[in-house]
Amino acid sequence: MESIEYIDRKTGELLREIVPGERWLKWLYHNPLGRLALHGVVKKRFLSAWYGRRMDTPASRNRIPEFVRSLQIDMSEATRPASGYSTFNEFFIRELKPEARPVDPDPGAVVSPADGKVLAFEGLQGLDRFFVKGQSFSLDRFLQDRTLSARYEGGTLLIIRLAPVDYHRFHFPADGRISGSTPVGGTYYSVSPHAVKNRLSVYWENKREYSVLRTQQAGDILLCEVGATIGGAIAQNYEPETEVAKGQEKGWFTFGGSTVIMLLEKGTVRVDADLLKNTRKGLETGIRMGERVATTI
């Protein structure tokens, strides 16, 4: 894989993603010696925990200016300037001005819970358009709850990948009542396409947390936050078993790559055509929190 390309949703243009440490990622996941390091050290919890602690030190704030410059981050969207953070992690989970992420007000619209690149699969089919052929999404292994996974068989799968450049808070995709969050232990593989194209199982091997949003129009939406290599810790910021509003903050990821996965029950929504079309082409679509991804049926 030479580079990560995706579709800009607004323009339809094919863009290349700026990936920090891309050469290192390619070495880890596509070189025999790199894979030895990956399985021996990189996927382990202690490395991510150690790096996460470094990003919480005062000295880490010195990384912010170069990070903003190299990834071309628009700081006019943030509630504070780049100089207004005491650590890198504080900057990484920066809050945005409300007007920076308008939420689709249509009651029938299910919106993206996060900024990132999205893949959309109806009926949990067609995964080999993006992932290596022959792989399938194992609901049983992903949720580790046979009764729960049965509810989403034949349903819709949305995979929203957050790169380091992205806004790293995640939100509710619809109005509803939210359950508590169930943690599932695991490893810390990268969620970059350089890693997951050949290893779909990363999504049920990595550390993750899931909850169920019970809605009136879109059924029960399962939301799962997946952590990844070098940080990616998950923080929940809501009260379980309460009524929540579409676009309301749910939590955040600390430094690192991460993913939000949405599962929707069969026959509850119709996924936006452009997302399905791009996925069939083997391409992710750039998306922002609050943009519609599906419409209730």
Active site residue 171: yes
DSSP string, 213-278: EE-SSS-EEEEEEE--SS---EEE-S-SSEEE-TT-EEEEE-SS-EEEEEEE-TTSEEE-HHHHHH
Rounded distance, CA 181 to CA 82, Å?
32
Q: Which of 60, 112, 192, 258 is catalytic?
A: 258
Active site residue 39: no
Q: Which of 112, 166, 168, 171 is catalytic?
A: 171
Q: Nearest 5°: CA angle at 113, between 186 and 160?
A: 55
Q: Which of 48, 60, 115, 190 is catalytic?
A: 115
User: Which tokens belong to 179?
Assistant: 């359950």
DSSP state of 154: T
Q: Are strands 109-111 and 292-296 parallel, antiparallel or unpaired?
A: antiparallel
* Of 108, 142, 51, 152, the residue nearest 270 (C-alpha): 108
Active site residue 48: no
Give the residue numbers annotated as catalytic, written as ranges: 115, 171, 258
